[in-house]
Amino acid sequence: MVFVNATWGKLMAFVCTLAGAYPDPEFSVDRGYSYVTVPIGYDDCEPLEFSIIVGLTKSGGGLTDYFFAIQKFNEITDEVEAIMSGTRLNSYFCKEIREEIFIGILHITDILLRHTSEREIYRHTFDINPPPKALAKHRRVSQVFQKCGYAVAESGPVYGVYSWYAVKMIP
């Protein structure tokens, strides 16, 4: 699927390579966090590649934090930008592609949670005061956690940020 979008006066022709197929991802460990990266497409007009990244990292307080983002890689400068704001994705991808990306995030989250030994995981919204549609998506992520054996508690908003605390239930 090709998505043409005018962003900041530039033409972006995003070519989605997901097509509903999510290969078995490889896990990586780097600087104290484990993550999975899956390529999702590229810009046909600019030297840009896009990937989903889903992972777990240790915070300064010792909590394990869950995160997901879209990585934008510039092939010329070797710069990587993590797009964590759902509102920013609107300027890159059409609704259909955003939905496909979200399904990929849910799928990768499921795989990551089934392969981790972490018993307690914390996560929070990146955007302040996220709209109801964004909260609904976060709650779908919580459903994946529950499906993988975690009890999930939601709290917030505190200063506009919602958070979730998940604890692995012992079988």
pLDDT digits (tens, 9 = 90+) for 110-169: 989 988 889 999 999 999 999 999 999 999 999 999 999 999 999 989 999 999 999 999
Based on the structure, what is the number of domains in the chain?
A: 1
The pLDDT, as a whole number, for residue 71 is 94
Whether 28 and 41 have beta carbons less than 8 Å apart is answered as no
pTM for this entry = 0.86
Q: Residue 161 sits in which domain range?
A: 2-168
Q: Name the strand (E) or helix (H) holding 145.
A: helix 132-147
3-state secondary structure of 116: coil
Nearest residue to 123 via CA among 56, 169, 62, 70: 56
Distance CA 29, CA 138 (A): 25
Answer positive or negative: Cα dihedral of 77, 71, 86, 158: negative
Q: Residues for the chain: how many in total?
A: 171
